[in-house]
Chains A and B, each alone.
Chain A
C-alpha cells in the first residue's frame, strides 16, 4: 500500500514497526510501514525534506543523498539535514558552482561555512547534491548576498 502524506514535526507519529528516523522539517513519506531493506530493493525514493530556493524552486533532499553525505563527510550527523534545508531557504551567500549549480552558504562560526550544493531544474524541481563545511568562501564566486 502506498501512502503519501505531508507531515509536520508536531504531527509525526511513527508506527512502531517503522525504522525511519525524523527530527524536523516536512517530509514526504511513502509506504512508511515498510522496513528499510525493502526501500533499497524496490528503489523507492524517500524525500527527507524540501526547501524553497531563493527563486522559489522546491529543492529536494533525498534520504539516499543524505546517507551518502554522511558516509563521506564526517563533519555531519544525521539530524544536520535540517541545517542543510534551512541553508537553502535562508542563505547568507549564494555562490555559482560547476555547470550552473548553486552553492548556498551559511556561516556557522568563525572559519566555518556550511556549503550546500544544489541544482535547480527549471521551476518545478531541484536537488541537493552534497554538503560540506569549509573554512572560507570564495568571494569572487558570490552571486547573491543577504
Chain B
C-alpha cells in the first residue's frame, strides 16, 4: 500500500530511522498493513555496506543482484501481533480455515 498522506510517511520514516541508518537518497515507501511491515525502496542503488542488514531484528536488505535497492522493516509500528491477530480472526469468521 503506497502511503499518500505526507504526515504518515514522515511518521514511518522516523520510525524506520530508529531501526536503521538510511542513506541520503530519495525513497519510496510501501507500508504493508496486514503484517505491519514497511518496505523502503531507494531511488538509486546504494553501497551494500551502508545498511546494517539484521534479519533477526527485522531489518532485511532488498537486493537486485549485488545491488542494495531498499530495506524491509518488520513490525515497524509495533502492531504486528495485533494486525496478525485481526487477520486470524477474519479467517476464522469467514470460515476460510478449519
Contacts and interface: CB of A to CB of B under 8 A. Distances in A.
A77 interface: no
B97 A28 contact: yes
Interface string A47-69: 10010000000101010110010
A134 B97 contact: no
Given A60-B97, A121-B84, A130-B74, A98 B56 contact: yes
A62 B62 CA distance: 21
Given A68-B32, A130-B37, A99 B56 contact: no
Contacts of A64: 34
B35 A127 contact: yes
Contact of B56 (A62, A96, A119, A130): A96
B35 A129 contact: yes
Interface string B12-35: 000000000000000000101011
Contacts, number: 109
A125 interface: yes
Contacts of A95: 55-56
By size class, the interface of chain A is 35 or more
A119 B80 contact: yes
Contact of B88 (A4, A65, A125, A132): A125
B12 to A, nearest CB: 15
Contact of A132 (B41, B55, B75, B95): B55
Given A68-B32, A101-B58, A117 B74 contact: yes
Given A130-B72, A134-B55, A71 B30 contact: yes
Nearest to B62: A72
B58 A99 contact: yes
Interface of B: 30, 32, 34-35, 37, 39, 41, 53, 55-58, 60-65, 70, 72, 74-75, 78, 80-81, 84-85, 87-88, 90-92, 94-97
List the 5 closest A-B pairs by CB distance, nearest first. A98-B58, A125-B88, A141-B56, A74-B64, A129-B35
